Amino acid sequence: MQLLKQTSTPRTALLTHSIYQQVNDLKSLQVFMKSHVFAVWDFMTLLKTLQRQLTCIELPWIPPIDIHSARLVNEIVLVEETDEITPGYYLSHFHLYLAAMEEVGADSQPIRDFITAIQQGFPANEALANLPIPESTKTFVMNTLKSANGLTHEVAAVFLLGREDVIPKMFQQILTKLEDAQGIPCNSFRLYLERHTHIDEEQHAPMGKKLLRNICGNDSLKWMQAVNAANNALKVRHCLWDGINQSIQQ
């Protein structure tokens, strides 16, 4: 895919970030998860934006214009929002992550307070304002919310290149480091990482590529805008890692 070549510089910088070596004990894992959970949450913002734009979730219902894209996005939503963790047991990946945080003793209060504020009708920037998390984490969330207001092909590019394509490669490095560590009670976190590594690499990333091709077609302007959106998403993720890295080292 040409888009991968055009985003290779920030992509390589992200995949070689030092944070993957820093998450190597219980304390660093706790710090990492306290911020990273916000990226887990706003992942769904991008996905639900695509579902809203490519399918019909309003009443009265009207049939989707692009049935193939609608099918692809609905398949991804099905797993991310209601994954079958074990036979007959369903859980969103966000809730799986919260369970993993509880298991390792990571502070989940900031994300819980954020969700509560959103449920109460507060704008995201106000809900984030006073949370005890790095500024880079707040910036990351606000950038995602801004991206979600972009054109459909831009959102799809951020979702594919800024998330689905790089997540397996990032998570595999963390998994490898945790396997080298001893005595960290993080079975749920390993399960979360393994689910994403397996599902994203084998299913969702290929689906995302098809989705982006369907949306952009042969429109060179759309492809250019998609590249710009993806490059920005990769750079902001790098800044998120910088902020978490600083928190780990404090």
Q: Write down the H helix ranges in the chain.
A: 2-6, 8-15, 19-22, 26-54, 67-82, 93-104, 109-119, 124-129, 135-147, 152-159, 167-180, 187-199, 205-216, 220-249
pLDDT, tens digit (0-9, with 9 covering 90-100), for 125-179: 999 999 999 999 999 999 999 999 999 999 999 999 999 889 889 998 998 888 7
Share of the chain above pLDDT 90, in %: 77
Fold of domain 2-249: Heme Oxygenase; Chain A (1.20.910)
CB 147 within 8 A of CB 233: yes
Pair of tokens at residue 48: 């639900």
Task: Label residue 240 exposed, middle or buried (CB < 10 Å: 0-12, 13-18, 19+).
Answer: buried
pLDDT, tens digit (0-9, with 9 covering 90-100), for 21-78: 999 999 999 999 999 999 999 999 999 999 999 999 999 999 999 999 999 999 999 9
Per-domain residue ranges of the chain: 2-249
pTM of the model: 0.94
